[in-house]
Structure 1
Amino acid sequence: MYVAFDQLPPEARVWIYQANRQLTGPEIVSVLPTMARFAEEWTSHGRTLHASAEFLHQHFLVIGLDQEIAGASGCSIDASVRFVAELEKLLTVELLDKSQLAFLHNGAVLLLKRSELKEAVASGTVGPNTFYFDNTLATRAELDTKWPRPAGDTWLARYFGQAEKNRQPA
């Protein structure tokens, strides 16, 4: 059963999929019916799920599920991954690739390969106060309060300690 995303409770489970490029408004609008249909038809062991899906910041597909009504099973999670793969084809975009990190930089989403992170920290492009999109968050409450959040408050904090040590004279 489709539920408007903003009507999902704070404890609703979320899955975040990051696009490898910014999507245009027309691209997002073109898949809204597909997203609504998925949420409407998504089931777990024959039980209707109360779910929603939306794009945020023109880069992130977020699927939400009210698990108080019915939780996702292995088969239903597999169905959601097939849905994401379908969107990848429709939009000619990668959503399942986890090799890039996303930051909010000068009001825009900046995508970096993991291999580029140390250089971005060393150059000052990314710092502890740069907002980072941690796509491993599990609930809508976390999405609302901790996404994005300063990189220094996430698992990336270790990179800033290393960068400061590297800048100190020997």
Structure 2
Amino acid sequence: MYIPFDEMVDTSRVWIYQADKQLSTAEQSQIESKCNSFLQEWAAHGQALKSSFQIIHDKFLVISVDESFNQASGCSIDASVALVKNLEQELGINFFDRTKICFLVNGEIVEIPLNGIKSEVKNGNIKSDTLTFNNLVSDIRSFQTDWKVEAKNSWLKRYFQ
């Protein structure tokens, strides 16, 4: 069952998918339609899952499930991954490329390949206080507090020592 994202409890589990490009309005509408339909019916072993999603910065798809209501099973999680893979095929977007890191620079999302980070730091384009995204946060509380972090407080800190 779908509920608005801001009504999800802090302990709700999250999965963050980073698109390999900025999502257009039309693409976001298609993603919203597919996610709404999927989440209305999403279940684990026949038990409805209280779930939600949102698209942030025209780039990130965040899916959440309140496991205090019903726990997501391996099969139900696989179904959500299949949803995202289906969106990839329909829209020609890659949500699973982990070789690019996003930063928030002057209010804009900047995506840098892993092998280009060192030079971007050296050139001063990425600074220690530049915000980056920790797409590995596991719940809403962490998402709200630790998703956007300064580069010096992330695994990228080694570039600023």
Q: What TM-score range do you get, normalising by the shorter chain?
A: over 0.9
**How much has 1:92 moved relative to structure 2?**
1.6
User: 1:156 aligns to what SS in structure 2?
Assistant: helix
> By how many angstroms is 1:109 displaced?
0.5
Corresponding residue of 1:88 = 88
Cross-structure match for 1:149: 149
Amino acid at match of 1:141: R
Partner of 2:46 in structure 1? 46
- Structure 1 residue 91: Cα displacement: 2.0
User: Could you tell me whether the CA contact under 8 Å between 1:84 and 1:96 is conserved in 2?
Assistant: no
Given that residues 35 and 54 in structure 1 are in contact (C-alpha distance below 8 angstroms), is that contact kept between their aligned partners in structure 2? no
Distance in 2 (CA, whole Å) between partners of 1:47 and 1:99 is 36
Q: Aligned residue for 2:126? A: 126
Q: CA deviation at 1:116?
A: 0.7
Q: Distance in 2 between matches of 1:84 and 1:147?
A: 20
In 2: Cα distance, 1:129 partner to 1:156 partner: 11
* 2:160 paired residue number: 160
Which residues of 2 match residues 40-119 of structure 1 at below 5 A?
A: 40-119=40-119
Per-residue deviation, 1:16: 0.2
2:135 counterpart residue number? 135
Unaligned residue ranges in structure 2 (runs of 5+): none
After TM superposition, give the deviation of residue 41 of structure 1 in Å. 1.2
Distance 1:64 1:20 in 2: 21
Distance 2:9 2:90 in 1: 30
TM, length-normalised to structure 1:
0.91
Q: Which amino acid aligns with 1:36?
A: N
Query: Which residue identity does 2:140 align to in structure 1?
Result: R
What per-residue deviation string (whole Å, max 9, x for no partner) do you get for residues 23-55 of structure 1? Answer: 112220233121101111111111110011221
Aligned to 1:11: 11
More deviation in 146-155 or 77-86? 146-155
% same residue = 37
Instruction: Give 1 or 2 for the bigger CA radius of gyration.
Output: 1
Secondary structure in structure 1 of the residue aligned to 2:129: coil
Give the whole-Å Cα distance in 2 for the aligned partners of 1:98 and 1:84. 15
- Specify the SS of the correspondent of 2:37: helix
